[in-house]
Each structure stands twice: as C-alpha cells, then as structure tokens.
Structure 1
C-alpha cells in the first residue's frame, strides 16, 4: 500500500500578517516540522505545495531534498493546491492513497499520521479523517478511488467537501488538537503559552 502525503503550504497568511509557514515552534519552522513528521511516519513519499512567495517559503525547509511544487493558481483557493500536489505525486509514481495535511496544525505528529494509516487499514474505509470541533477535517487519508473527486474540486472547496459527501465511507479519528491552527497572533500566543515558550 503506497501512501503519499500532500503538505499544503501555499497560503499568504493574510489574517496573521506574516508567513505562518516560517513561524518557529520548538526550534523549527512550521513547514519543516510538518516535513519532519511525515518523514518519521510510514508514508512513502510527500510533496510540499507552495504558492505565495515560494522562494521565501522554501527557506523554511530543506527544499533541496524535499519535493515541492508551485501552484500558480493558489489564490483561487485550496482546491487548486490539493490538485497541484496530487498531480505531482501521480506523475512521479504509483500511489494507493493520499494524505492531505496542512502545515499549520502544530500538534500533528508522526504517531498521529501512523494512527490514521493503521486505522484505515483495519477499517477498510475509503477515507480516514480527523474529527475535531464537531466536524471532519484534515489530516485526512483518501484511497485512490477518491482521487478523481479530489481532482475535480473547485475554488475554495477543500478536502472537507469529499469527506461530507461520503460520510458512510469515512472513519473518524478523534483529534481535539486538530482544531489548533495559527490564523492570528492571538492563536500563536495561545500556542506559545501552551508550550511554555
């Protein structure tokens, strides 16, 4: 079972006012932390999807060793970034399932990613999704039968649209910390307080 991961890091962080991908948490940028956690997981490959100021964001991770792709249409919404990542992976090898994850969920670690992989294998569901704030979300794992739907998403549609349209084929994994992302300085302050930094 070949598993690849799309790390979404294309946004401009407009609400935060500075690139969240480059925020340092425990000595690492958020984008490098995401990359490191995927490397430590059972995933077979990955790609980082860039958009806004890709040259700057590439300074935040080992871009010489980590595959990345630039989405020129990143401003159109998350759909185009998911598709840029999935197209890259499909063009560079056979994959059976894809994990979609964000670079700004600081509590996503390799153990949690592996939990998603393992629970998916045991359940035989086509989708394994994180459950937090009373909704399904990412990180989420999609079997290849859902690749056409991911590639058909439009505009602001993210992976959640596919999750909601196939509720009966979704295994939900409770992940309360998935609700913690970094859209504002207040979010960042709360996180730093929580981590004692």
Structure 2
C-alpha cells in the first residue's frame, strides 16, 4: 500500500579502523560517500530519514551539507552497529509515525535512489514484512523492515546487525537483486578499486 510511510536510517557511525581515515568523507564522483548517500535518501520515496554519526562526528558534520538532514550522534558507537541502528530507530519512531524503516550504509556507493525505491515499492506491493538486497549469495542491506519487527530490532545486541532478523524470518522476506551491493569500502584497496573501476 503506497500510503505506508517509510523512514530511512543511514548508518555512518563507524571509525573506519581498517581504512585509517573516515570513510564517510571519501570522495567519489565529486561528493563524499556520506553526501552521496544523503542525496539518494532525499531523492527516495521515503518520507523521513535520519543520519547516525559516531566516530569523528564533529569532523564529519563540518564537511557535509546538513540542510534538510536530521543528524544524531551515537556516543555508544564502539559497542557495534546494532547500537547505532537502535538509536536511529528510536529517533524516527519518537518523532514520526512510520510503517517501516529502511536501513542503508554510507559505504555502499551504488545504493542509489533507484535501489532504495525498488525496496520501498516492493514493500508496498508485496505482502512481505522484510525486503532485503541480494548479492553474493546472501541477503543484506539496504533492507526494509515493517514496524512489526521494530521490537526485534530494538532487542538486538549492540554487536548484532539486522541481518540476524532477515535470516530469522526468511518466510516473510522478499529479495531484490542488487549485485553491486557487494561493493563496500573498508580498506584503501577497496577505495582504489572503486575509483579506478566506476560502474555507473
């Protein structure tokens, strides 16, 4: 049903330890990875979105356009991605009535508005409570969760990710193919490959 309201939680709290500098600020196609992700979230069919920062939050805030953004900082980011997801979900649900939330990461450079909208439209059109991306023989984010899963999301351990919920409810999960979802940036080598082999 197209009247179902979707909120996006953009997770960008990690310290990028393997990279050695904030991956959120890496330049790609003229913008930082975080700015590109924010752009795609704004262009999507979602009605609300929040950016969750953590490590290097002050530096990152100074270097991105915050217009039209709801940005929060998770001081507990070292405990794991689950803590940032929960903080983002609580922020969204405290302020807005949303029927579902879409989780996205700032280091998946090809998770553009078309991908996000395919997830949202599949959610609207299907009877499934979870819509996940399929790549490299697995299911993962970006992924959309109906509000009936909000309780489970909030009960995850801080070190756990939403994939646990996806795998626990395969009967209520619809997948969309997103092979470029396998491309994320964790190391300098990953970043060099991205810059040298643009795929769009």
**Shared fold (TM-score greater than 0.5)?**
yes
Structure 1, gaps ≥5 residues long: none
**1:172 partnered with 2:181:** no
Which among 157, 170, 175 is matched to residue 154 of structure 1? 157
Structure 2, gaps ≥5 residues long: none
1:60 Cα offset (Å): 3.5
**1:52 partnered with 2:52:** no
> Counterpart in 2 of 1:67?
70
Point out the more displaced range, 61-70 or 26-35.
61-70
CA contact (8 A) 1:32 1:60 kept: no
Which among 78, 82, 86 is matched to residue 79 of structure 1? 82
**1:31 partnered with 2:34:** yes
What is the TM-score with the length of structure 1 in the denominator?
Answer: 0.97
What is the TM-score with the length of structure 2 in the denominator?
Answer: 0.95
CA contact (8 A) 2:101 2:146 kept: yes
CA contact (8 A) 1:6 1:99 kept: yes
Indicate the SS of the match to 1:136.
strand
**1:131 partnered with 2:131:** no
Which among 107, 112, 124 is matched to residue 110 of structure 2? 107
Coordinate RMSD, CA, aligned: 1.1
Point out the more displaced range, 57-66 or 99-108.
57-66
Query: After TM superposition, which residue ranges in structure 1, 4 or more long, deviate above 3 angstroms?
Result: none
Which among 171, 185, 189 is matched to residue 182 of structure 1? 185
